[in-house]
Amino acid sequence: AQKITQTQPGMFVQEKEAVTLDCTYDTSDPSYGLFWYKQPSSGEMIFLIYQGSYDQQNATEGRYSLNFQKARKSANLVISASQLGDSAMYFCAMREGHGNTDKLIFGTGTRLQVFP
Amino acid sequence: DAEITQSPRHKITETGRQVTLACHQTWNHNNMFWYRQDLGHGLRLIHYSYGVQDTNKGEVSDGYSVSRSNTEDLPLTLESAASSQTSVYFCASSSDRGGTEAFFGQGTRLTVV
């Protein structure tokens, strides 16, 4: 069964607009973490934001926020005020387990294109 | 600054050859991971290690092996390279303390001809 699902292979957004990238996950472990990474065309993996399963508030990092809906098992990334430099692949990932038994599992990614 | 580095960055090899991709981290992380990235599949876990002498198979481990003789290095070996192993390979490391992100190497583009 797919642990992390990203249903949007590609998304377009106009510069300065907000965009939401969807991510749903599946786990029976009560303790887990959710991550978003950005991969620009240069290829490196850049960590954006983290949400712990016990965190009461949605995580925010600058223009990035994570819309965490635990009951629906969704962890959508919201990018506000999009910039041309936001054009990239975005991966949702989940880390379940504890300390020395955890693994980071990725979704298939969403390619975001920001146009002027 | 601590970092994680992969070498080589690009490699072309022939079918049937043994290939080793290097991964070295100076974060002093116990957890290390190897992924392959293919179009439409995202990053898939090949092998991982939680410490010295510990190795585990991921979801796409067939044809690959790893060894962990020290904290800093987790080399990935393709026993007999196949064209299906043409991919971009990423190494990552993370603390064994929960709630922290994994740090990635720059990736190795491997082409098997």
Per residue in A24-44, pLDDT (tens digit) is 999 988 888 999 999 999 999
- What is the model's pLDDT at position A58? 95
**Cα end-to-end span (Å), chain B:** 37
Instruction: Using pLDDT thresholds of 50, 70 and 90, give the confidence band for residue B40.
Output: confident
Among the partner residues A37, A44, A105, nearest to B45 by beta-carbon distance: A105
Residue A107 above 80 pLDDT? yes
Mean pLDDT, residues B5-33 taken together:
96
CA distance A94 to chain B (A): 10
Q: How far A8 CA lies from chain B's nearest CA (Å)?
A: 11
Res A99 pLDDT > 60: no
pLDDT at B1: 86
Q: Measured between alpha carbons, how far is residue B45 from residues A44, A57, B25 in Å?
A: 17, 30, 18
Residues B56-77: tens digit of each pLDDT:
999 999 999 999 999 999 999 9
Work out the pLDDT band at A11, boundaries 50, 70, 90.
Answer: very high
**B57: Cα separation from own chain's centroid:** 12
CA–CA gap between residue A50 and residue A55 (Å, rounded): 10
B94/A52 CB distance under 8 A: no
pLDDT of residue B29: 92
Pairing relationship of beta strands B54-57 and B10-13 according to DSSP bridges? unpaired
Which residue in A44, A99, A106 is closest to B97 by CB distance? Answer: A99
> Residue A103's pLDDT is what?
82
Which pLDDT does position A51 carry in this prediction? 94
Beta strands per DSSP E along chain A:
4-5, 10-14, 19-21, 24-25, 32-39, 46-52, 60-61, 64-69, 74-79, 88-96, 103-106, 110-115
Q: Tokens at residue B94, please?
A: 């993370």
Q: Which amino acid is at A116?
A: P
